[in-house]
A and B are shown apart, each in its own frame.
Chain A
């Protein structure tokens, strides 16, 4: 008699609707033994679990492909590396080595870019909260400042006049493209006349000079035509203000929002079926911009430089998260569940993506609906609420991907240390690019007032130890 595979005996009533043994089936043998060419076992042994593993080759390829797609079609193009998507220093420097500017949205990001050696003229400074001190530095450095609101306009004007400088400025715009939910809280609205007002004020200013227009229509945009519409609206606005005031626009910044091959929870079909290829976006964007600025060549004027700020599309699939099973259970409704050592503390994007989860050994037993939970004592710490997996065991290693966008920046330090981030270099060697946190890191910003230096005041044992 063959040995019976151990699992606690279990009975589960059938519920009607969605009864389909093969419904969430996965292609067979979908386990991996390597992450970006490095054996999983080696990574786990050397860097512990969990850990992030990143590919330099992938990242460089993605950056080159993006740049090429736009350059080939339009020519004068700048890619601003969106720091907020992944600002681990090594990642930023890979992007800069590939020719990307730094696209930053806060004082911290600005300082980080400068710290990494990025010159001011290669920094695009966005964001709604810039602050006086950092604006002054940015102006002195010659960074490209994108204004978000009128108070900021006044602040920059004041600094510029105090420093007696002429500062080139871009305006962030918002408007309804008819494709995406308008992000009307950022920048100046076109339909209500705010953008015209700002342009007028800039044109009247002695120290500020409006030279660029910027907008960002949203995130994970699945319809290339949305960008075409965005560019049409921006160019129409450009021609209006150029005709009316003494303004010459030399950069059009279309923001980011290009999708990655990740599965949004709200979209039914798998990503490879719903995400258009990069070429469709590049066609829509570049063809429209060429069409809309053709008039310039007749006037003997230069085309505006196209700036794009893609983060997700460049970095998402260049990183995977290695994690381990620390416990398994059956939920009262019969569903299988496993607890992992990485949860939404490290994988913030699990709140909106259904990340792919791969086994690192062949399946031993049939696939079944399984919930994957993280290590936090929070009910919402769910990595996947439902995924078909074989029976998991304590100590099993899983690989979650793609995770490269927004996790190394939005991860939170809640009850756990943040883990190592490893980079696999182009020559297949690898190194840590961000060390795991430890108690010292966690405590170093704490300050104890004199009366709080000891924990238990009347403890005898403590008195003794002194």
Chain B
């Protein structure tokens, strides 16, 4: 990609269900609202009901992709097909489940002049839930006490072993459930094992404030443009509903340490809990921008644009100094979709060249 200002940027994860939106729309909004951007944005979704596909203010065009379970060959082919309609200069993947495919396609996409700036498979794996504990131990980062569990009778005797309730039970890949009793724990265990397989991860619940940091790793060990946020209210899925920008030096140091250790390349989100005694516990590293990334634009540290600049080799990111006190409140609103647009998404898998319905009764009905 030569110049991000006039480039065509494709963004995935434009699903936007109110209780748990994907980050794609927020990433698109950051880029769209940056004064210098004159290029095109392409929304890439996985379901005809992904709202961002129809958000005309954010995406110039939209297309559906094969599910990550279809593998990278199908994905590559689909991206090439989309490229014949609208040549893509760069892709910003925004969902965990597609990272493996994209990291395996890096070379093939680059041959097709499509840039990616994402972590390698090794980096991706090292930050996975079941490896995080060892990684943190190695570099002296605190994590809540964690244990892998394969035998559910653990939940009946855990209190005696110093694992009192409540606890967090996590699936090996996704999902986390807070449990308050052995009964809850057994239910959560069978549900998670049934969905994600063995083992389960059990974690002690640390009380404190939830702080998140978003940033970009430059691939050489540096953390670029960190933006920090404290959750002020969460949805019943634990996702940020309201938050406020903060500046927390200890969180920044922790994130910088992780980025340095992993030589992380690409966007990331670091989730931590800050206990009342000031100690910070790492909960998770996500290999993508978070859904609340629009806050970065609001505080003058537009991270998606910083990513694009980094991809183009620009060194000057023109960031505002870190600041606290900017709030966001997430809200839902209805997006109006015309029948023809929906039809096109259903039938063609994209917004391009929506066929005109022969019968006009539909509009008058």
Contact = CB atoms under 8 A, between A and B. Distances in A.
Q: State yes or no: do A and B touch (Cβ within 8 Å).
A: yes
Given A21-B64, A22-B66, A28-B77, A273 B47 contact: no
A41 interface: no
A33 interface: no
A131 interface: no
Interface residues of B, number: 37
A199 to B, nearest CB: 23
Contact of B71 (A16, A23, A270): A270
A270 B148 contact: no
Contacts of B67: 20, 23-24
Given A176-B151, A181-B150, A26 B70 contact: yes
A19 interface: yes
Interface string B78-108: 1000000000000000000100110010000
Task: Pick the most buried of A21, A181, A266: most chain B CB atoms within 10 A of its CB.
Answer: A21
A335 to B, nearest CB: 17
Interface string B340-365: 00000111110000000000000000
Nearest to A221: B198
B77 A273 contact: no
B24 to A, nearest CB: 15
Contact of A273 (B64, B76, B104, B345): B104
B70 A20 contact: no
Nearest to A218: B198
Given A21-B64, A268-B97, A178 B148 contact: yes
A27 B70 CA distance: 9
B130 A27 contact: no
Q: State the majority secondary structure of interface residues on A.
A: loop
Contacts, number: 95
**How large, as a class, is the contact surface on chain A?**
20 to 34
A21 B348 contact: yes
B337 to A, nearest CB: 13
Nearest to B199: A179
Contact of B347 (A21, A176, A266, A270): A21
Given A17-B49, A24-B70, A27-B73, A266 B148 contact: no
B65 interface: yes
Interface string B176-213: 00000000000000000000011100000000000000
A442 interface: no
A438 interface: no
A180 B150 contact: yes
B69 A269 contact: yes
Given A27-B74, A176-B151, A182-B150, A20 B349 contact: yes
Interface string A315-336: 0000000000000000000000
Contact of B199 (A18, A21, A180): A180
A192 to B, nearest CB: 12
Contact of B66 (A18, A23, A266, A274): A23
